[in-house]
Structure 1
Amino acid sequence: MDRSISGAHWSNPSRLKTRHLVLLLHLDEQGSVLRAAEAARMTQPAASKLLAEMEALLGVPLFDRHARGVQPTWYGQVLIRRARSALLEIGRAQEEIAALRDGRMGQASIGTVVNPGTNLVPRAVAEIKSRHPDILVRIEMDYSRPLVARLLDGQLDLVVGRIMDPDGGLDLEFEPLADEPHSVVVRHGHPLATQKTVRHADLAAYGWILPPPDSVLRARLETMFLERGMQGPRNVVETSSLPVTTNLLRVSDLLTALPVEAVAPYVQAKQLAVLPLELGVGMESFGIIRRRGHLLSPAAQKMLEALRTMARQLYARGGPR
């Protein structure tokens, strides 16, 4: 069915104003013109008029109306994603201008997966703070997919992770840094840690701490079990939190799969141990990801340079892989 607005023609979308975009996000969040109007501090007729203006300017319906409220169309979803990014950029521009006006460098927001989040990113941040203590650094640790989504939305300046999906790939630049093999990690003194050799079959008797089902690592662990004719773990704790994982390991006989570098301090302190087993589970190379053609703020540019410098020291000479 033709979903275009009857009789509408493409107008100049540059006539969209900030108030249009703000209302658009409220409509998406609230799912109701009335509630969106209240959130935007305007009347419902004024909100309906602004929505009609947007649809007339673009020549497409942005929301479907139904008895329960409004829901964005495909066109609306595209504009909502770009509007959120645009408003975030405007907000950041105001912060950067204020910081530069006051003689400060501003801020940098980084997303990272676990392994570089335990060595590369902390070292790079320490380097930045030693040289530029006025830079505000924000760090988020998560899996690659949500981090890259936040990068594309403009919520993050840089991500140290992987591009897992082709969607949005053309909008991204990737600098590979290192691969990431995983090992089986247990508490110090675990029964398996006292064995000179460990086989995959020995793992079956123990419970596991696993990442959520939608993660790539979870799928690869399950594939590893199947390829070796083993039943996947039934005694399972699911978490994406490294602190929760390490503390669970220390007080139980549970197993987990992690990069050795992620738990190196615990191993050195004899709180955790790495089993002498080639698990055969790894992830693609992680690297520095940023938006293609996007001009980084002075603080984010400094952060990028520090990440590159620390990566050369960690990985170029056969360091953690």
Structure 2
Amino acid sequence: MIDQPPSPEAAEQFIVRRMSLRHARVLIALHDTGNASHAAEVLHVTQPAVSKTLAELEQGLGQMLFLRKGRHMYITPVGRRLLTLARKIEADLHRAAGEVASMVRGATGELRVGATNAALARLLPRAVAALKRESPQVTVSVRTHALRSLFEDLLAGQLDLVIARVMPQDEPLGLQRMALLQQPERLAISAQHPLADAGLLSWETLSRQRWIWHMPGTRTRMLVDRLWQAKGLPLPSDLIENGDLMLSLNMMREMPLLAVMPHDVAVDAQGKGIVRLLPHDVDLGLGALSVWHLPDSHSELLDRFKLLLLEAAAEVQVPGTPAAATV
């Protein structure tokens, strides 16, 4: 139970002067586990210690942060806002720890990048290579999870930027975007495929071949399914479902397959003799390949890497496509 609630000014001062990492971690653990005993296990403390810390927060703010229903705890709107701050505190601490560790190793900074497949073939490697030529002691960490996870990590402060394509209606809120280049999809066929040199093939003929298909539930799978349905054709029945780009290319090297893939990935694979590119239109309606970051996230290293990404984008821009418009 909360005693006499403090004034708004006192609540503000409590957060600024008294809220600690201990409070932040208890708040996160309570939200993620749903009850005090599980939170205590996660934090390796006693349950009374968790309850005492939560009571300090609620007394200091004069607000309930969780509603108790049975053994489960449900976060309140005030608690959710404080949870956002707590996650940022935790993320900033981990980032600072990583930077200090890099400095101890002799490095001069760390850049944490999230990227989807469209950036991996040419754009990101060129930008990272340019950065390492300029700043050899900077540590670059690259994560290639699913797009939703990448944006969640970015919002939580666990990434500095994300390079991805997003449909206009799916653009995440609260982030700043800088467009890099258009990256259309291409239809690729294994170089060893019997139809690789057959010229323009009908969609009916293509539908009877073996395909690499994106994993169920992914955005690209939905778009490719929709493309097929727009042509009035049933989905191919001979499929290998896969979400790993390297595995897809290695399988195309080993057996006759077709796949829809980002332009840069397809061009790079064609240059290595893995695939041939077919002239069929496979526009999925994805937006320009863009770099995303938090609006208040600015550092000399981040700003320099964004410029290097723009330079790399100019080098790999698809001929015949307009440059992406920066937002």
TM-score interval, smaller chain: 0.7 to 0.9
Distance 1:180 1:141 in 2: 18
Q: 8 Å contact 1:162–1:289 — kept in the other structure?
A: no
1:137 aligns with 2:154: no
Q: Is contact 2:109–2:137 with CA below 8 Å preserved after alignment? A: yes
Contact 2:180 2:289 survives alignment (8 Å): yes
Any idea what SS the aligned residue of 1:175 has? strand
How far the C-alpha of 1:232 sits from its partner, in A, is 1.8
> Over aligned residues, Cα RMSD in angstroms?
3.1
Q: How does 1:286-305 map to 2 (within 5 A)?
A: 286-296=289-299, 298-305=300-307
Letter of the 1:261 counterpart = D
Separation in structure 1 between the aligned mates of residue 271 and residue 221 of structure 2, nearest angstrom? 27
In the other structure, the counterpart of 2:205 is 202
Please give the residue correspondences for 1:1-321 in structure 2 after superposition, counting only pairs within 5 Å.
Answer: 8=5, 11-12=11-12, 13-14=15-16, 15-73=18-76, 75-96=78-99, 104-164=107-167, 169-296=172-299, 298-315=300-317
| One-letter amino acid of the structure 2 residue matched with residue 148 of structure 1 | F
Whole-angstrom CA distance in 1 between matches of 2:195 and 2:318: 33
- Secondary structure, aligned partner of 2:286: strand
CA deviation after TM superposition for structure 1 residue 21, in Å: 0.6
Shift of the alpha carbon at 1:107?
0.6
Normalised to the residue count of structure 2, the TM-score between the two structures is 0.84
CA contact (8 A) 2:183 2:264 kept: no
Separation of aligned partners in 2, 1:26 and 1:160? 30
Task: Between 89-98 and 139-148, report the one with greater CA deviation.
Answer: 89-98
Structure 1 stretch displaced more, 287-296 or 271-280: 271-280
- Give CA-to-partner distance per residue, 1:124-176, whole Å, 9 cap, x none: 11111122111110011244332222111111101111355878845211111
Give the drift of 1:286.
Answer: 1.4
Residue-by-residue CA offset, 1:238-258 (whole Å, 9 max, x unaligned): 222101111222223332100
Moved more, 6-15 or 75-84: 6-15
Q: Give the aligned residue type for 2:304.
A: K
1:188/1:270 contact within 8 Å kept: yes
- Greater mean deviation of Cα atoms: 105-114 or 165-174: 165-174
Q: Report which stretch shifted further, 14-23 or 91-100.
A: 91-100
State the shift of 1:71 in Å: 4.5
Q: Which moved more, 1:61-70 or 1:207-216?
A: 61-70
Alpha-carbon distance in 2 for matches of 1:62, 1:164: 36
Q: Secondary structure of the equivalent of 1:109?
A: strand
Kindly state the Cα deviation for residue 303 of structure 1 after the two structures are TM-superposed: 2.5
Matched residue type, 2:308: A
Contact 2:118/2:164 (<8 A) preserved: no
Quickly say closer, same or farther: Cα 1:8–1:239, change in 2 above 3 A: farther
Instruction: State percent identity of aligned pairs.
Output: 28
Number of aligned positions between the proteins: 317
Q: Could you say what secondary structure the match of 2:91 adopts?
A: helix
1:101 to partner: Cα distance: 8.1
Structure 2, unaligned runs of 5 or more: none
Contact residue 58 and residue 65 of structure 2 kept, 8 A: yes
Further displaced range: 275-284 or 174-183:
275-284
